[in-house]
């Protein structure tokens, strides 16, 4: 058998083995897609309170995107229950691992925004959050967490109120890469997007490695008439 014939036979055999046992393509290992908000409703601003600030909730979602548990990470007693109640009616797109839906956790940050002034820093974000661990069936995702944030500026020449809900895509270095509007209020939404794009995050990790993820952000605006009854 000539050398050329031998090389040809080896090439044919190698091709056959590759067809039966293809090598994984680059990046095909543990392709993880984080959960996100699909639809959201209004969060009523509690009456008889002038409290403002950020309530942070950690939602445990099953493989269908249904809420299994809500844990409070940042608590503002006059405001937290309104946020907890509202998210129960929201819907979510579940996480996926290699194309298959899996349980995972998602952080939702609800900003009870002052009518005026806006644009100032939200206090208390430097405090460490309570430790959290995945449930027995959860993917090993530690959601992105806000490290710095500002209130949205209430626009002039408007009397709008209500809730703006955004889905922020957080990159592997913690930067806000994209903001998608889930629920908008026309005169308020642009200021909310502008505010979130300036926020800082600790990136999410999956199995200990930084990953692109999503964080829910809601801005709740009181009615100017209620905020300024005089």
**Residue pLDDT, tens place only, 4-54:** 454 455 455 444 434 444 444 444 446 899 999 999 999 999 988 989 999
User: Is the pLDDT score of 150 beyond 70?
Assistant: yes
**Portion of the chain with pLDDT greater than 90, in percent:** 67
- Please report the pLDDT score of residue 28 as a whole number: 41
Bridge-based pairing of strands 104-112 and 213-221 is parallel
- Please report the pLDDT score of residue 8 as a whole number: 54
- Which residues is 150 bridged to in the sheet? 121
Task: Looking at the chain, list the stretches that DSSP marks H as alpha helix, in order from N- to C-terminal side.
Answer: 3-20, 77-87, 189-197, 224-227
For residue 117, cis peptide bond before it (omega within 30 degrees of 0): yes
Q: Which helix (H) or strand (E) holds 40?
A: none
- Please report the pLDDT score of residue 158 as a whole number: 86
Task: Give the SS3 label for residue 121.
Answer: strand
Between these two residues, 3 and 190, which has the higher pLDDT value? 190
Average pLDDT for the chain: 86
Residue 49's Cβ-side half-sphere holds a number of Cα atoms within 13 Å equal to 16
User: Is the pLDDT score of 58 beyond 60?
Assistant: yes
Q: How confident is the model at residue 102 (pLDDT cuts 50, 70, 90)?
A: very high
User: Distance of alpha carbon 5 from its chain centroid, rounded?
Assistant: 59
What is the C-alpha to C-alpha distance for residues 99 and 108, in angstroms, rounded to an integer? 24
Q: How far is CA 81 from CA 24, 55, 65, 76, in A?
A: 47, 10, 22, 9
User: Is the pLDDT score of 214 beyond 80?
Assistant: yes
Lowest model confidence (mean pLDDT) among 34-48, 105-119, 197-211: 105-119
Q: What angle do CA 226, 151, 200 make, to 5 degrees?
A: 160
- Detail the DSSP E strand segments found in 45-175: 53-61, 67-74, 91-93, 95-97, 100-102, 104-112, 141-142, 145-148, 162-170
């Amino acid at each position: 058998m000539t050398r050329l014939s031998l090389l040809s036979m080896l090439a044919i055999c190698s091709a056959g083995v590759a067809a039966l046992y293809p090598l994984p393509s680059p990046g095909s290992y543990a392709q993880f897609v984080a959960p996100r908000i699909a639809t959201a409703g209004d969060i009523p601003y509690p009456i008889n309170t002038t409290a403002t600030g950020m309530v942070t909730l950690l939602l445990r979602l099953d493989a269908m995107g249904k809420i299994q548990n809500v844990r409070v990470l940042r608590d503002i007693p006059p405001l937290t229950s309104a946020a907890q109640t509202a998210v129960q009616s929201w819907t979510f797109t579940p996480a996926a691992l290699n194309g298959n839906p899996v349980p995972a956790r998602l952080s939702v940050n609800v900003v009870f925004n002052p009518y005026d002034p806006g644009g100032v820093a939200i206090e208390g974000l430097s405090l460490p959050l309570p430790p959290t661990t995945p449930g027995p069936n959860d993917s090993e995702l530690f959601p992105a967490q806000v490290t710095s944030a500002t209130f949205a500026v209430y626009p002039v020449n408007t009397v709008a109120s209500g809730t703006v809900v955004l889905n922020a895509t957080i990159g592997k270095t913690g930067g806000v890469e994209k903001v998608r509007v889930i629920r908008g209020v026309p005169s308020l939404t642009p200021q909310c997007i502008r505010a979130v794009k300036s926020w800082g995050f600790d990136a999410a990790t999956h199995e200990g490695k930084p990953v692109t993820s999503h964080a829910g952000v809601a801005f709740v605006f009181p009615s100017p008439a209620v905020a300024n009854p005089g």
